[in-house]
Structure 1
């Protein structure tokens, strides 16, 4: 039978669940399991409809700018300019292939979900009506609804299942819920209105058992599981179109119009002036090729690739090239808490020892830190209360602390993270668990039970008595205590003092600390059974431990930098509201007056109501995958460009919906990494700030290249049109091949290297760009006209001065060389919008300086070598001619430097 998605399995008794699934505690028969498998399919995630390689390739060539370049290639071919046509086609091919290989891997996200399933499962089948059942091991794909599965510590759950029986069961569900602490499970029925993280009698596919064991009945397999629902959400989530794609589309249309208008105008004016039709037609085609900046896609690709390289060295791997620029546009970061803002390593931060508060330094599992009482160092060897507390913490503990073999400073916990935190605290005081166990061997134990809410271990001490050690819930442990270890002395514990201690426990909990109480008592060996049956009594209370998954120190700085850069930071986590708010306050995300909403709050809000609150909300707690998805969409409806960070499977749909999805490289799941646009190799929130910086640099560099291309093209067009309309001559100012040569020497070399410009100092002091802002703004338009006027005036001056001497070839050579040099000087102008080239460093972009040298060398060859003189129609120029050319063409550089100086932002520095 199929599982009914509307059943609240957690709210039904185990017997009722078995009845509805037509199963028993002894499992299914092989025949029944085979029938269900045939009817409902394997327990695996559907791959979904996958784009073919051809589909992805076609997507790459849909860009209108590629179409413009294709037209330019056709025009060049028609004009018998086969070399230019080949170059343009090569640019199209390279750009398309780069985009194809980057985008293809993104379609593999859904496949990564398959790796989250268990390779095999333990089930009960063909059990006799009486006698002992024998378990079977089958492939997880063969698990069906109604199967009785058995899981224990270390196992991965094969399907969503309702617990029937359990013993000390805990699971790591962080991949689904975002909870940093393992979820403790039970078998009893629960209330109906619960979110996924609160369903304590359900085990979910893909989660891992960290402690205990259980028997459960499967109620959902494959795409019906919580994991399957996430896979379905990823598949139907449309990836947001990035700002770069929107801006490039807009720019492409403008460039197409510019090319058509300029070419048409040239043709009409030339025809009106009476130029020979064939000559004019070839000239117009050459001008059209020049007006279409075929170097732009290559320049954008280079700018993005350089950004990718820089970011890789700063611990951020980009999976999609245009994501680099998009990061520079983000206005909101929606981040998970566990493992992203925090270390994902539970850490003891405070101890309460009979009225004394001891601060514990150090973060994570590395056993380095100190104990301080009122700012004064406290040593366990000199304080009996602290020593006894830490001894209990180490011995009443099933976890183990191991150093990483490859990295001495990297430590890991095997077992429950909470117990691991206690173990690390003891290790900070120099207490080694293995040495303590040698001198105090464990002889018996009482495992933790949710009903009893404590754990107890019994140890030999070398005397006739045993040492019974306990840890558990504060109110439970205190209720069993009659004495307290106060500054090394055992004193009676009255009710008034118990209430004072409980008040201190509540205060620690209000600070988002997870509080455990520790106690001990000495008993005789023959009293162990009575201790177990009747329960502990007359214990000696030693204190509380307060632990938390602490914030990363660098995350605090990163959040501050994000706010300085005008970026809204929002936390969305599966943790409890108090914990989330406390961490957010420590990091700087939460400020007084901002709102904290829970998943249940979101369920009660419409999209319109959420949109009205989203700007003032800094923390979302107890949220599920669908909630994170809604949060991202709400931010987008409010006009934000959203970056979503995460590490668990539960984050994948929201990552895909966001303009930028950011996955954690160390703790992140395969699904998250495949869905994300960027992966942080160090799981460090600081790397996001670095990425934002690089993204802003990339956009500015793209804008600089576009400004250069448009201004040089405008200079060429204005020069040609003025010469055609106002000069009473019967020859063209340039030959068609000279126009193409200038286009090759300047656009082909300089624009790509201009895209490699280093960052400007104040890049992170600027607010995020308006998401609707185009690459070409009004400042660029004004500057283009300013530069174009200088180019046209200077080129025409040199051309007409020589033309008056009667040598048309010398005039054309001087004119087209002057135009080329104008464009070379203009490349220096475009390195910054408002800062002098001497302020940013004349030689700071060595690639551009090299390209300038190469361009000048090529122009010298064009006027010096006989082969080029014959092909281009040029003549040799004297040193005096070159001096004139440099003097005239440098005016565009001098004028722009003066413009920047007038703005008052230029300080000379070479």
Structure 2
């Protein structure tokens, strides 16, 4: 290095060590994504069934099954391809160019060409192109919120020193890649580039973190494996029984086995769950929550810990003046005297000594949040902002710097026809008040006393302990150049980023619903705890911990004690991942919210990552499963409620489908093991499973939700989607439905020949067998459609309450389905396709009677069981 900066030769030599870019993670190929979809045990079973169907000549059956498989694969592939964009977004936010000194000349180069040792110039509006050690700063302020989560721009000071153990937000002698220079100017030497920068570390963490399967995915895979094993075992037993006991020909036995396998497998299960989750996504979008990952909708319902970012989510992300100190008193805005001369001077000073502006076009304040707060106060309180500023003209200033901790402006002020030069100074109280020899009160200007100093300092300390940001104001008159001595002390203004309206009530609702809320922020512990206490997130400072304290703890110790904390302040990206994983180590289902680049790894590590839609970076949005359109914590609670309702609906659909298929298994197994012909053909079972079962189950999946779910505790994800009572209901209802439809299968034989030798009367009588299957098929289809109401509610209550009929989709689907089922009995082409016999009015009436009777028996038994369960729980 020669003086400032490198020579071109030195830069070219150092460039061999690597470019200033972030390494992109390995992308999944389209083939691998599709292959992952076929890894589902349920889909593999369907593929096997379709292959066997085609090989044995049942082409239509095989094609129908293949269509079901392809539909699920296409939906899953589209969802997967749209999800993994995090690292690409990281690359996009990097600075495109950098101003450096090369060969002693200031020049602009592509940021990717920077090397370690380059001398970089920083100016307001520029993105920091690499990690820099600052060697010169002039009123330099850098917005690091995307990296650290801190809401206020950081004042940089090259005279301070820090090391790797210093939290990122406190390294004032450093500037970090991809942060934004908001104010001032600085110069620095490149220390780290590319993957070695703090942003690069986050990129590396994103590569390393793998998303876990959601509870629902695990549950459905488990159910699919059980169904697969059960189906294979039963098919083998059936095959052996037909071959060795009844001496049935091999081809006929294969056809029976395929029909039985189709009865075991709920073909519509994967499709129904996918469509229900997709509908849930659409419903959440209406509530300002965009869900990117389809299975994340269900995960929301299991969340029992919400780790929320503070700024912009719990708070308004707008500094607001909430307290004043003047004439020896600390006052709330509503307590201010109506005609206070001291307050008029205090407000004028804070508006004059201020670099922020008000935009009439957007209706918003532009500038540093601590300065825009005073403009907003004047506008909101209708205190004549324009009238005040119209009479003030700045003609000189002393800019703020971190050494003096003050800013001074010299203004020409017109008041009552008289023009005066007034010098206003604002800053930290300890810097301002020591330069004052007088004080302004309602009686006028007088000499300042020690008591005045003590009272003002104590007031500032109390405000600071309440997490308020405090600024002092003083002035002097008659100067031609700005000065910061022998000033008149006026008072204090204190501000805070206040909680959003309704958040406190929402936090209380979460607690009532068994959901713990934790605050994770880049702000200081005292500031964070003050907001957390106001929102009932934490009650004592002992529930707060800083990132530095986490780093000092042993990893196992932190995991053990993490449930004791509710506020995590001044944390690093690594700390955030640690926090999420610590909660998960206790079996918690963790939601993490965030908006910055620093949040991306923890968003990906969480069970459900939630990014901010308004203030969030693209990196955070792409790493998350859900995006809040309105950046509001209340929306998270609404999404959790929707997730709980959705899980309940999916559970109804799964119970309904498994109950229906178990009823078919009982029917098929009873008939075949008794030596009867198969009561249903493969295509008839597919018709029932894919149409008369799938449509009602889809309607159940979109059932009307209830706010009452937030009165319940989060479900135990280890317990699975179904509990013991659900399985018992499936068995009981399946046995009854199977028995009823078996009776329907035998009824034509009994009516024609009596209850004598049924086997002999059926053997070789193809027309009678077709009629028996017609009775059985129609009874089964209608019975299963009506059974949706039993699964929707409980027992005989299925038809006796308003809740029974509040699902319009189910009502329409059931009515149309029953009419369609009756219609195919009288339309010849449909009868031929489904291999049905012609029937008359009496036959249809009998079919309806048996189907409805079966439903009513099931409803009564289910109700009795539910009441016994409730009584047993009360006794326990």
- Conserved 8 A contact 1:327-1:695: yes
Residue of 66, 69, 94 corresponding to 1:117:
94
Aligned position for 2:712: 766
Aligned position for 1:817: 778
The answer to which of 621-630 and 546-555 deviates more is 546-555
Q: String of CA shifts for 1:554-580, please: whole Å, max 9, x gaps.
A: 322222222122111111111101001
Residue of 178, 186, 197 corresponding to 2:169:
197
Q: Does 1:32 align with 2:10?
A: yes
Q: What does 1:825-836 align with in structure 2 at a 5 Å threshold?
A: 825-832=786-793, 836=798
Aligned position for 2:340: 383
Aligned position for 2:288: 315
In the aligned structure 2, how far is the partner of 1:896 from the partner of 1:730? 26
What is the DSSP-based 3-state SS (H/G/I as helix, E as strand, rest coil) of the residue aligned with 1:372? helix
The answer to which of 296-305 and 761-770 deviates more is 761-770
Aligned position for 1:554: 502
In the aligned structure 1, how far is the partner of 2:649 from the partner of 2:299? 13
Residue of 27, 32, 55 corresponding to 1:78:
55
Q: Does 1:450 align with 2:402?
A: yes
In the aligned structure 2, how far is the partner of 1:874 from the partner of 1:90? 24
Residue of 254, 263, 268 corresponding to 1:295:
268
- The CA deviation at 1:440 is 2.0
Residue of 792, 807, 817 corresponding to 1:845:
807
Q: Does 1:563 align with 2:515?
A: no
Question: Would the alpha carbon gap of residues 169 and 740 (structure 1) be closer, same or farther in structure 2, given more than 3 Å must change?
Answer: closer
Aligned position for 1:154: 125
Question: Would the alpha carbon gap of residues 796 and 301 (structure 1) be closer, same or farther in structure 2, given more than 3 Å must change?
Answer: same
Question: Would the alpha carbon gap of residues 163 and 544 (structure 1) be closer, same or farther in structure 2, given more than 3 Å must change?
Answer: same
Q: String of CA shifts for 1:205-242, please: whole Å, max 9, x gaps.
A: 11111111111111111111111111111111122222
- Conserved 8 A contact 2:793-2:804: no
In the aligned structure 1, how far is the partner of 2:677 from the partner of 2:430? 100
Q: String of CA shifts for 1:619-657, please: whole Å, max 9, x gaps.
A: 111111110010011111111111111000000011111
Residue of 40, 45, 62 corresponding to 2:39:
62
Residue of 91, 96, 103 corresponding to 1:126:
103
In the aligned structure 1, how far is the partner of 2:606 from the partner of 2:619? 15
Aligned position for 2:729: 783
Aligned position for 1:751: 697
In the aligned structure 2, how far is the partner of 1:251 from the partner of 1:643? 26
In the aligned structure 1, how far is the partner of 2:143 from the partner of 2:322? 23
Question: Would the alpha carbon gap of residues 432 and 221 (structure 1) be closer, same or farther in structure 2, given more than 3 Å must change?
Answer: farther
Question: Would the alpha carbon gap of residues 569 and 383 (structure 1) be closer, same or farther in structure 2, given more than 3 Å must change?
Answer: same
Q: Does 1:869 align with 2:841?
A: no
Question: Would the alpha carbon gap of residues 808 and 233 (structure 1) be closer, same or farther in structure 2, given more than 3 Å must change?
Answer: closer
The answer to which of 453-462 and 879-888 deviates more is 879-888
Q: What does 1:182-261 align with in structure 2 at a 5 Å threshold?
A: 182-192=153-163, 193-261=165-233
- Conserved 8 A contact 1:152-1:212: yes
- Conserved 8 A contact 2:513-2:710: yes
What is the DSSP-based 3-state SS (H/G/I as helix, E as strand, rest coil) of the residue aligned with 1:520? strand
What is the DSSP-based 3-state SS (H/G/I as helix, E as strand, rest coil) of the residue aligned with 1:551? coil
- Conserved 8 A contact 2:267-2:690: no
In the aligned structure 1, how far is the partner of 2:671 from the partner of 2:204? 63
The answer to which of 88-97 and 633-642 deviates more is 88-97
What is the DSSP-based 3-state SS (H/G/I as helix, E as strand, rest coil) of the residue aligned with 1:340? helix
Aligned position for 1:399: 356
Question: Would the alpha carbon gap of residues 554 and 88 (structure 1) be closer, same or farther in structure 2, given more than 3 Å must change?
Answer: farther
Q: Does 1:536 align with 2:485?
A: yes
- Conserved 8 A contact 1:391-1:426: no
Q: What does 1:86-101 align with in structure 2 at a 5 Å threshold?
A: 86-101=63-78
In the aligned structure 1, how far is the partner of 2:322 from the partner of 2:665? 70
In the aligned structure 2, how far is the partner of 1:404 from the partner of 1:73? 64
In the aligned structure 2, how far is the partner of 1:339 from the partner of 1:428? 20
Question: Would the alpha carbon gap of residues 104 and 739 (structure 1) be closer, same or farther in structure 2, given more than 3 Å must change?
Answer: closer
Aligned position for 1:17: none
Aligned position for 1:172: 143
In the aligned structure 2, how far is the partner of 1:123 from the partner of 1:352? 47
Q: Does 1:522 align with 2:477?
A: yes
Aligned position for 1:614: 562
In the aligned structure 1, how far is the partner of 2:654 from the partner of 2:460? 62
In the aligned structure 1, how far is the partner of 2:848 from the partner of 2:145? 66
Q: String of CA shifts for 1:419-441, please: whole Å, max 9, x gaps.
A: 11122123234355555344221
Aligned position for 2:760: none
Aligned position for 1:497: 452
- The CA deviation at 1:483 is 2.5
In the aligned structure 1, how far is the partner of 2:295 from the partner of 2:658? 22
Aligned position for 1:413: 365
Question: Would the alpha carbon gap of residues 80 and 777 (structure 1) be closer, same or farther in structure 2, given more than 3 Å must change?
Answer: farther
The answer to which of 198-207 and 768-777 deviates more is 768-777
Aligned position for 1:703: 651
- The CA deviation at 1:511 is 0.4
In the aligned structure 1, how far is the partner of 2:689 from the partner of 2:367? 66
What is the DSSP-based 3-state SS (H/G/I as helix, E as strand, rest coil) of the residue aligned with 2:657? helix
- The CA deviation at 1:548 is 1.0
- Conserved 8 A contact 2:794-2:859: no
Question: Would the alpha carbon gap of residues 707 and 840 (structure 1) be closer, same or farther in structure 2, given more than 3 Å must change?
Answer: farther
- The CA deviation at 1:350 is 1.0
Aligned position for 1:884: 846
In the aligned structure 2, how far is the partner of 1:656 from the partner of 1:736? 44
Q: Does 1:691 align with 2:648?
A: no
In the aligned structure 2, how far is the partner of 1:299 from the partner of 1:464? 78
The answer to which of 425-434 and 661-670 deviates more is 425-434
Q: String of CA shifts for 1:478-516, please: whole Å, max 9, x gaps.
A: 222233222363233210121011111100000000111
Q: Does 1:50 align with 2:50?
A: no
What is the DSSP-based 3-state SS (H/G/I as helix, E as strand, rest coil) of the residue aligned with 1:711? helix
- Conserved 8 A contact 1:470-1:519: yes
The answer to which of 166-175 and 851-860 deviates more is 851-860
Question: Would the alpha carbon gap of residues 263 and 840 (structure 1) be closer, same or farther in structure 2, given more than 3 Å must change?
Answer: farther
Q: String of CA shifts for 1:28-53, please: whole Å, max 9, x gaps.
A: 1222222222x122211111322222
Q: String of CA shifts for 1:817-837, please: whole Å, max 9, x gaps.
A: 212221111122122357645
In the aligned structure 2, how far is the partner of 1:811 from the partner of 1:556? 64
Q: String of CA shifts for 1:536-594, please: whole Å, max 9, x gaps.
A: 11x22221111111111232222222212211111111110100101111112112486
Question: Would the alpha carbon gap of residues 62 and 858 (structure 1) be closer, same or farther in structure 2, given more than 3 Å must change?
Answer: same
Residue of 604, 607, 617 corresponding to 1:659:
607
TM-score w.r.t. the length of structure 2 is: 0.93
Aligned position for 1:5: none
In the aligned structure 2, how far is the partner of 1:404 from the partner of 1:642? 42
- The CA deviation at 1:872 is 3.7
What is the DSSP-based 3-state SS (H/G/I as helix, E as strand, rest coil) of the residue aligned with 1:772? helix
